[in-house]
Each structure stands twice: as C-alpha cells, then as structure tokens.
Chain A
C-alpha cells in the first residue's frame, strides 16, 4: 500500500529499524561471547589450579601425600570474589577437602581435565577435575583433584561487558539513524532534481526532459516525456484547428464584405444603408478576430520553436510604423519615432506582429489629431520599446488582466477589438525572455505600453 507519507521519512525509519535490529543482535552476540570468554577463563584458572595441586601428589611409605600450593588457591581469587571448594579423592576415599561436593559422573582420564557444573551450598558451581595415578602400596591408585568455584566473577565480568556492549550498541544505533537520514536524502536527490527541473520550466515548455536518471526513475521520465509529447501534439492540433478555422472563416467574410459594400453603394434608403453599414462593421469585427486568432496561433506555434536571428529594433520600429502610417493618417495621428539602434536576437516575424498589435491599439484608441510616440531606450541589459498615446488610457480594471485572452478594457466603448492583441504581445515577449509593462500616463491622458526585451 502506498501512503501519502514522505518517502525520505519512510526510508529513514526503515534503515533505522534495520540498524536497531542489528544493534540488538550485536549486543546479544557480544554478551553471549563475553560470557563464553569469561567462562572459559574461569575453566582455565580452575584447571590450572587443580593441575597445580595434582602435581604435588606423591607417594611416601605407601601412602598418598600432597600439599595444597598457596598459589593454586591464590589464583582462584583472580576472576572475582568467588567461593572456592575443593576435594581430593584417592580411589573412593576422601584425602582432604569438602566430602559432599557433587560427585563426578565419571572420573577424568589421567592427564586430562574434566569440567562439570553442579550445585553446592545453594549456589551453582563450576568444577574442574584432574586425575593422576599414584603408586601407593602394591598397585597404582587413581587420585582425583577437584577444584570448584561459584560463578559470581564470571557474572560480574560478563555483566560489565554486556553493559559496555549495550552502550556501544546504542551509540551505533544513534550513528546509524543519522547516516540513514543522510542516505535517504541522498537517494531521493535525483527525484528532487527532476522535480525541480520540471517546475523550473516555463508554462508552455513541453520539450522532453533530457537528463540522466537512476534506473528506477527512467520509467517515470519516459512516461512523463511521453505525456508531454502527447500534450504538445494535442495543443498544436487545436492551434492548427483554430488557424484553419480562422482562415476558412476569413475568406467567406471578405466575400460577404465586398457584397455588402456593393449593395451599400446601390441602395438609396437611409434605413437600409444603416443596416448594411452594421453588417460591414460586424463583418470587420469578425474578420479582425479571425485574423488575430490566426496571429495568436502563429505566435504560439513559432514560440515553441523560436528562430533566433539578429534583429535591429530601430529598423523594426521603422518598418512596422511605416506600414501603419496610412491608418494613422486617416485619423490625422502623427507617429513620432524616437529610436536608437538596438540589436537583439529574436524572431523578426513575431516581434513585428507584437509591435504592430501595440501600435494598432494605440492608433485605434487615440482621438483624431493626436500624437503617438515610439521610443527605444536601453537600460542595463534591457532594451525598452515604449509606445505612448493620448487615448483614454487603460481603464479602471486591473492592468495585468488585459493580457488575458479575450479580455478587453472597461473603456473601449464601441471600438472593434478581439481581446487577443495584448495576449499575443505578451506571448511573444515571454518567448524572447522579455516582458510587457502597461501604464496609464499619470496626470495626462493616454496609455504607455512598454515592450521590454533582453539585449543580445
């Protein structure tokens, strides 16, 4: 089941869980080994002690004699403060020591040490027995020396080591948790990088992601790229459809307009003339809308795969304004150009389209016998094309909203417009890495539209 929790946290918890398991396991193993080692040490000391006593065994006048060496007992104090018991048996007779020590299951073979565990005086004891043949009287007599000790020292030593191991296991776990955190972060870095790369992209950037990805992320990348490709195709198809539709609508509209104008010239009745003029106006508006839809589709299409050629903005302003000069002249509007050479890299067709839209708007909304000023300035790494008119300005609504599709200003009145103009301008500018700035001129009438583009 896939929850909504963070993968990083899950990974950290999983790794920490594994570390905890290993810590407990290692503590358990060290504790076991420590106990084993302490027990073996005790066995060795007991064996050495019993052997030392057995070595003093001798026969004197047919009797078995021995003496307990001081060192044989002193060494038993080495492991810890343990109670010590001993017994020396000659055959079945007690020579010396504690008669009631637990009996051995079977006597050790001569020269070897046998270890036993038993209970004596209310405590568990460990016993080491050594056997030697002593010639007493006629035949050799097996003499068995048994040294026994309680297990306190062993327990103390193994408890101390176990505590130490526990401290180390906890420290190990702590380090492992920190490392798990970093490991989880490192493992998720490619994923985060891809996510960042996707979110850094512009809104219309649907190029495939071309970057190295870990094997686990490759299917995701492939699917993502395929999705984007399908999305891009779908968008292009609808743009194509719009362009096709606009084109198809424009041609019949032109025919209708021609017919309407012919009809206008041939009718005398004022009422009919008004009706025909209305038709011509509506046809113009539709034609213009279709034209701009076509422009918009062009811009969108070209912006996806922008051609970059050196463009001199002064020349561009010159040509575009020259093209619109006749329209301006019809309203006695003066186009003033105040340019300077400024070279950028860009698509001249799109830039011309954008500037034409702005200039078209300025002429369209300006009253008769006014001035529209086109100025080029540079500011740092940017070049600004400013178009200033003396029209009604941008209205009272939010200025940024004017660049949305089919959105028109609140004060456009009955002037023909599609609401696509500024949308196209902004699309072109953002495809070039620039932006559109809109201002109503303060204290005066008119709007100030600035196209900001980065210098090459």
Chain B
C-alpha cells in the first residue's frame, strides 16, 4: 500500500479524466506562420491584455491560448503534450516540472535582470508576485470590527458564530493546487492556521475550486468572508464591478505571496517566440509601478515590505508538500479540522 510513486501524485492531483480538460481557449491569429501554444492557469479576462501587448510587439505570431487547472497543466506537460509555454500560479508544480527535467533552459538579458529569487536555473521565471488576501462583504460586516490579524479573525468568528455560519469560504485544498500551496505554506509559517481552520470548520465553511467563484459569492452577499483568495484577481474584480460591496484585506501578521511562473516545456517547438514572451513578462515583472496591468509586478513582493516575509521561496523545499505521503498527512489533518460538523 506504500507503492506511492511519482505517478500516484498525478492521480491524486488530477481528479479529471485523462484527456486534457480545457476550461477556456482562444486563438489570436497572427500574420505569420509561427503559432505559440500557451498552456496557462490564468483566466483570459486577466491575461488577455498581456497577449494583446505581445501581439502588438510581434504581430506575426499566432497565439493559441488554453486555460487549464494547475494540476491539469502539470499532468499535460509530464505526459509530453506539446506546448511552447506553460504559465502557472502553482509554483510548486512548476518547480517540480523543472526539477524533473520537463523544462528547457532559456537565458536572455531580460531573464538575467530578474532577481535571484525570481528565477531558478534559467528554467523557471517568475513574472508576478501575488499575495493571498481575505475578501469580505462590506454589507455583512456592518457593525463589526474589521480584523487585521488571524487572531482577531479567530476571535471575530468565534464571537459571531451565528452571523458567519455557512458564510465563510475558502479553497478546497484537495482540488485547488493554489489553495493547497497557500494552506501548506501558511501552516508552516503561522500556528494560527490550524486554529483558524478549526474555527472555520465549525462554521460549515463553503469550499471552492477557484478564486473567481469565491469573489462572486462575496460580491453577491452569499459569503461574508473568503479566506486565502488570490489578491490580484480580487483587485481585478473590485476594480470592475464591486461598487464598494467587497473589501480586500491583507492580514498583518503574515501573508503568503505566490510567484506566477513561466517555463518552456521540453516539448516546445517555438522556443524563440516563447522566449520573447518570457522576456516581455520579465520586463513587466520588473516594472516600477503597477500601472493598468491586471497582475501586480514582482516588486510588490519585494523584500522589506513589512510584515511580509517575501514571496514563497522558489527552491527544492516546494517539493516537500508534493510528496504523496506528506500530502496525505496534510489533507487528513485539514479534513479533520474543516469537516467536523
């Protein structure tokens, strides 16, 4: 029963069928023969500006953009699916792909300009730094004090259990790779995580696969609070249509910062175009002010911005929670905490 090899990770991760499950897809025809096939976890509404900007630079390149979950992306690349670029918010899986030899190296002045913590072996390149935040509904929080730390949040949830019953949302870490990454890193960094999980578990928490749905539910008042939402998406939605109904909160005691990363898979055929897009993303990652781009630059996670501890480190330690034994242990604990009813 301990035959948990590498392949088992994939079966654990991929709950979907064996064929690649594409959530969204769009083709941006270019004027030339080159087609850049991108596999990404970023929704089109978030990432389209980047694709259009790239096509403005290189009009000849046709872009074939497919949106998949991070687990699907990992499975597709390890299965040898042919893509030229893989963009993912699950930095642990991206790291693992590179570590296991599924990425090819790329080096340019732009990638060399990235700080050391934002690239690994010229294989993995980070181009955004996105924090995990709490999104809350201003309507449901009327008359309540806005918490700034996990301890305050725990106290708030305990004291107002009736108000929050069934109205607290977070990632289902069994399904969401990003949720799992945030949860494992947080469990490592603050002991408040498990206490908060237990408190949430008593409130009949709503579990989600993706940030988008959570934010929608907060906006519509179905949820009072969504925990560990990807900050950049929340900001995007807010800017668009909240009208003051949601508020974004960064926990002051500790906040995870995730690096969105790009790799060129071993199977890539359009290396040059893929490299050019990485260069553009690296340049945007190093831009000084956030500007109108949907995703924040790397410097928003730069060292020294208290109380953050910098982004999650791109290194071998990311492989620890991907190990099936560790994953099973963590999920068991998490289920115990979340599903106590």
A residues in contact (CB < 8 Å) with B: 63-74, 76-77, 81-85, 90, 93-99, 121-122, 152
Contacts and interface: CB of A to CB of B under 8 A. Distances in A.
B138 to A, nearest CB: 37
Find the residue from A81, A83, A93 having the highest chain B CB count within 10 A: A81
13 contacts: A64-B2, A65-B325, A70-B188, A72-B320, A73-B316, A73-B319, A74-B313, A74-B315, A77-B316, A90-B2, A94-B2, A94-B5, A96-B2
Contacts of A68: 320, 323, 325-326
B101 A121 contact: yes
Most buried by A among B99, B315, B326: B315
A122 B103 CA distance: 13
A95 B4 contact: yes
A85 B323 CA distance: 11
Interface in B78-137: 98-101, 120-121
- Lowest 4 CB-CB distances: which A-B pairs, in order? A77-B315, A74-B317, A84-B316, A73-B317
Interface centre among A68, A69, A71, A82 (most CB of B within 10 A): A68
Contacts of A122: 101
Contacts of A74: 313, 315-317
Contacts of A84: 99, 316, 319
B329 interface: yes
Nearest to A69: B320
A323 to B, nearest CB: 107
What range describes how many residues of B lie at the interface?
A: 20 to 34
Contacts of B324: 96
B317 A66 contact: no
B144 interface: no
A95 B2 contact: yes
A95 B121 contact: no
A96 B319 contact: no
B76 to A, nearest CB: 19
Contacts, number: 70
B18 interface: no
B3 interface: yes
B17 interface: no
B6 interface: yes
A64 to B, nearest CB: 7
Contacts of A66: 325
Nearest to B315: A77
Interface string B1-18: 111111000000000000
Contact of A94 (B3, B317, B320, B326): B3
A49 to B, nearest CB: 9
B321 to A, nearest CB: 8
B322 to A, nearest CB: 10
A58 B248 CA distance: 44
A99 B6 contact: yes
B320 A73 contact: yes
Given A73-B316, A99-B6, A152 B121 contact: yes
Contact of A77 (B1, B6, B317): B317
Contacts of B320: 68-70, 72-73
Contact of A70 (B3, B6, B317): B317
Interface in B1-53: 1-6
A93 B1 CA distance: 10
Contacts of B4: 94-96
Contacts of B317: 70-71, 73-74, 76-77
Interface string B302-335: 0000000000010111111001111001000000
Nearest to B7: A99
B316 A76 contact: yes
Given A64-B2, A83-B121, A121-B101, 13 more contacts: A65-B325, A71-B317, A72-B320, A73-B319, A76-B316, A77-B313, A77-B316, A90-B2, A96-B2, A96-B4, A96-B324, A97-B323, A121-B100
Interface string B169-202: 0000000000000000000100000000000000
Contact of B120 (A81, A94, A96): A81
Contacts of B1: 63
B316 to A, nearest CB: 4
Nearest to A77: B315
Contacts of A63: 1-2
A76 B316 CA distance: 7
